[in-house]
Structure 1
Amino acid sequence: MDRTASPSPAHSDKRRLLVSIHDVSPRSESQVDRLAELIERHTGPARFAMLVIPDHWREAPIAGNAAFATRLRGWADAGIEMFLHGWSHRDETPATEGLAGFKGKHMTAGEGEFLNLPPSEALVRMREGRDLLEDILGRPVTGFIAPAWLYGEGAHAALRALGLPLAEDHMKVWRPTTGEVVARGPVVTWASRSKGRIASSLAFARLARTVLPLALPTLRLAVHPGDTTVPALMDSIDRTLARFVRSHAPARYAELGSSG
């Protein structure tokens, strides 16, 4: 049976839904499969992106893992967009003061890898990660998304230097080479690492289902392997996808045109 989602009459060419699975690595393969199955029930096959970590916490290298490389290549061949998602996803240069210190402490659990890297190190990690993935995939990556959506000046400089096509943070998608913003609005995501964060993400998703489809031409929804450990989060993701596809057509990041 063809499960490809057909746009409803409410869809238009500029009303898009972008869905992504974060933290794709050998250590999350089974959770990624569960999330992909859930997403495809609403979007149809391969209408989402994967964010791939080359060596998750320096404990799960893709290099040398032929079986996982084959899976990545198969997903990409099926049409799933592939983003580079840091190198290790671990903050190895944590800031202790200022705005960077606040973000590192309160917006992630030690995973803001690119928040405080100097430009030279950010460039090395981005270049090596891009080259590794593109060699495996046999095609260019769609872009780069920093772990926890957190970028420092070094990360921005590296993005510009490498000329990667797209980047994304909490509030926008942009072209690093020109600075052009191609989608605006908050990404809807969930957090599983504490009861408080679970409750707040469930509340935000309920609000998002009511407000965002009426307000934004481009909706973004992101899920993480940890979401699969909390039934309430999986139910919320299911409900949010069901609402969003009623008004916005599942789309690819590469389809984004001028400012949206």
Structure 2
Amino acid sequence: MSTPSSEQSFIVALHDIAPQTWQDYRPFVERMDALGNVRMSWLVVPDFHHQSATFEDPAFLNMLESRLAKGDELVLHGYYHCDDAPAPKTLRDYYMRRLYTYEGEFYPIDEQQARERLERGIELFAQRGWPLDGFVAPAWLMGEGTRNALKHLPFRYTSDPGHFYELPSFTAHRVPTLVWSARAAWRRAMSKVVNDVSKWQYRHLPTIRMGLHPIDMRFDSSRTYWHRCIEQLLDQGYRSETKRDWFDRCIGARTV
């Protein structure tokens, strides 16, 4: 494998951040902190599956604010992170909402519903005084209604597994993601192969992302993979940055 230049970077994105998932992530975060030079983007869900109200948990909010103080980023990641819309009516929608994921909250809803949830999330961040640049839809799935809503709201970016998108124009920038499917043993075995191949394919790109999920932390194979991947990238000279860092560096800092 060729040696990366000092300009190459990686982004660690922790998905599904909520009080309910913190115990999964805590040992991983402690290990990253021990490395001393890993910044992370925390994808925060306001009310995870209607069962984990992030903004009603003072201890959890204090922890998130401590992450901001360390230079990490907080990102709005859906609102409920579950698909409560009426049952799918087409084969395509059935595949996307029942086979691909049950958590595509922002895939089936219309523009008004999307805007209402996004505005509620924006207000929650504003009440805490948290900077908010990005929105990432659960499972990276956005329907037309969500895309239209994002064009009229003060987000700087959104993303899917392969790209960052500047808002409101949806200008695409290729920044691919390593991600695991950890729910079954055969999926974990396949994920290691796919990610090893993808990491080799991305070795010349300026930036790669890692999309981590709470379930990754529950299995030795996926958890150990992320530990080693990040440590290897640091050893190879990659810099760690957040999504906001990337936009400041590559697109330009937001003007107020």
TM-score, length-scaled by structure 1: 0.86
Residue matched to 2:194? 204
CA distance in structure 1 between the partners assigned to 2:82 and 2:208 by the alignment: 28
Residue of 104, 109, 127 corresponding to 2:97: 104
Q: Distance in 2 between matches of 1:76 and 1:98?
A: 43
**Secondary structure in 1 matching 2:106:** coil
Residues 1:32 and 2:25 are matched in the alignment? yes
How far apart are the structure 2 equivalents of 1:200 and 1:134?
41
Cα deviations by residue, 1:34-55 (Å, 9 ceiling, x for unpaired): 222233455615x111000000
Query: Which AA in structure 2 matches 1:150?
Result: L
1:149 to 128, 140, 155: 140
Q: C-alpha displacement at 1:10, in angstroms?
A: 3.7
Q: CA RMSD in A?
A: 2.0
The equivalent position to 1:12 in structure 2, one of 3, 6, 11, is 6
Q: In the TM superposition, what is the alpha-carbon distance from 1:100 to its structure 2 partner?
A: 3.5
Could you tell which deviates more after superposition, 75-84 or 240-249? 240-249
Segment of structure 1 superposing worse, 203-212 or 80-89: 203-212
| Matched pairs, number | 245
Contact 1:54/1:61, CA 8 A, preserved across alignment: yes
Q: For 2:56, what is the secondary structure of its paired residue?
A: coil
**Correspondence for 2:111 among 111, 119, 122:** 119
| Residue 150 of structure 1: how far off its partner (Å) | 0.8
Letter in 2 for 1:95: P
| Mapped contact 1:53–1:85 kept (Cα < 8 A) | yes
- Post-superposition shift, 1:247? 4.6
Task: Provide the secondary structure at the position in 2 that maps to 1:144.
Answer: coil
Q: Is the contact between residue 83 and residue 144 of structure 1 (CA under 8 Å) also seen in structure 2? A: yes
Deviation at 1:229, TM superposition (A): 1.0
Structure 2 counterparts to residues 180-259 of structure 1, below 5 A: 180-182=171-173, 184-214=174-204, 216-245=205-234, 246-255=236-245, 256=247, 257-258=250-251
Instruction: Tell me if 1:68 matches 2:57.
Output: no
Deviation at 1:208, TM superposition (A): 2.4
8 Å contact from structure 1 (residues 25, 60) kept in 2: yes
Q: Which residue of 1 aligns with 2:37?
A: 44
Distance 1:36 1:253 in 2: 17
SS class of match (1:117): coil
Verify the 8 A CA contact 1:213 1:244 in the aligned structure 2: no
Q: Distance in 2 between matches of 1:43 and 1:219?
A: 20
Give the aligned partner of residue 4 of structure 1: none
Identity %: 25
One-letter code aligned to 2:9 = R
SS at match of 1:213: coil
Matched residue type, 1:119 = E
Structure 1 unpaired stretches of 5+: 1-8
Matched-pair contact (CA < 8 Å) for 1:205–1:240: no
Of 74-83 and 98-107, more deviation after overlay is shown by 98-107
The answer for unaligned runs of 5 or more in structure 2 is none
> 2:136 corresponds to which letter in structure 1?
I
- Shift of residue 97, structure 1, vs aligned partner: 1.5
